[in-house]
Amino acid sequence: MSLPLSRAAVWAVALLPSLVAAAPLSLDAALELAARRSEATRAARAGVASATAAASAAPELPDPTLRIGVDNLPATGADRFHTTRDSMTMKRIGISQEWLSADKRAARQAAADASVGRETVQVQAAAADTRQQTALAYVDAFYLGESLKLARLMELHAHEEWEASRARLSSAAGSSQDVLALAGARGVSEDETADFLQQQEAASVAFQRWVGIPPDDLLPPAAIALPSEEAYVAAHPTVAAMQRDVDVARQTAAVTASNRKPNWTWELAYGQRSGYADMVSVGLSIPLPVAPAQRQDRDTAAKLALVEKAEADLAEATRAATAEYRALRSDAQRLLQRIDRYRAGVVVPAGHRTAAATAAYRSNQGSLVTLFEARHAEVEAQRKLLTLQRDLARTHVQLAFRPLAAEVAP
> Above 60 in pLDDT, residue 60?
yes
Containing 65, the helix (H) or strand (E) segment is strand 65-71
> Above 70 in pLDDT, residue 180?
no
Lowest-pLDDT range of 111-125, 129-143, 176-190, 207-221: 176-190
Q: Which residue has the higher pLDDT, 26 or 163?
A: 26
Model pLDDT, residue 15: 46
For a pLDDT cut of 70, what percent of the chain falls above it? 86
The band of 184, judged by pLDDT with boundaries at 50, 70 and 90, is: low
Q: Where are the domains of the chain?
A: 25-408
The band of 93, judged by pLDDT with boundaries at 50, 70 and 90, is: very high
The string of DSSP letters for 258-313 reads HTTSPPEEEEEEEEEESSS--EEEEEEE----S-TTTTHHHHHHHHHHHHHHHHHH
Average pLDDT of span 59-67: 91
Average pLDDT of span 125-135: 94
Report the distance separating Cα 211 and Cα 207, nearest Å.
Answer: 6
The band of 22, judged by pLDDT with boundaries at 50, 70 and 90, is: low
Q: Which residue has the higher pLDDT, 195 or 128?
A: 128
Q: Which residue has the higher pLDDT, 188 or 240?
A: 240
Q: Which residue has the higher pLDDT, 160 or 250?
A: 250
> Above 60 in pLDDT, residue 18?
no
Model pLDDT, residue 407: 46
Lowest-pLDDT range of 44-58, 70-84, 160-174: 160-174
> Closest Cα to residue 361, out of 184, 153, 180, 160?
160
> Above 60 in pLDDT, residue 358?
yes
Q: Which residues contact 78 (CB under 8 A, 6 or more apart)?
A: none
Lowest-pLDDT range of 70-79, 108-117, 231-240: 70-79
The band of 409, judged by pLDDT with boundaries at 50, 70 and 90, is: very low
Q: Which residues contact 212 (CB under 8 A, 6 or more apart)?
A: 33, 34, 37
> Above 70 in pLDDT, residue 181?
no
Confirm if 17 and 117 have CB atoms less than 8 A apart.
no
Average pLDDT of span 332-339: 96
Q: Which residue has the higher pLDDT, 359 or 184?
A: 359
The band of 12, judged by pLDDT with boundaries at 50, 70 and 90, is: very low
**Model confidence pLDDT, tens digit, residues 131-162:** 999 999 999 999 998 988 888 887 777 676 65
Q: Which amino acid is at 372?
A: F
**Count of Cβ atoms closer than 10 Å to residue 256 Cβ:** 21
Model pLDDT, residue 168: 55
> Closest Cα to residue 121, out of 41, 6, 222?
41
Mean pLDDT of the chain: 85
Average pLDDT of span 186-198: 78
The string of DSSP letters for 13-25 reads HHHHHHHHHHSPB
The band of 8, judged by pLDDT with boundaries at 50, 70 and 90, is: very low
DSSP state at residue 82: -
> Above 90 in pLDDT, residue 289?
no
User: What is the chain's length?
Assistant: 410
The band of 185, judged by pLDDT with boundaries at 50, 70 and 90, is: low
> Closest Cα to residue 211, out of 394, 38, 33?
33
**With 0-12 CB in 10 A as exposed, 13-18 as middle and 19+ as buried, what is 176?**
exposed
The CATH label, of 3.40.50.80, 1.20.1600.10, 3.30.1360.30, 3.90.1150.10, for the domain at 25-408 is 1.20.1600.10
Q: Which amino acid is at 310?
A: A
> Closest Cα to residue 35, out of 47, 22, 45, 24?
45
> Above 80 in pLDDT, residue 170?
no
Model pLDDT, residue 174: 52
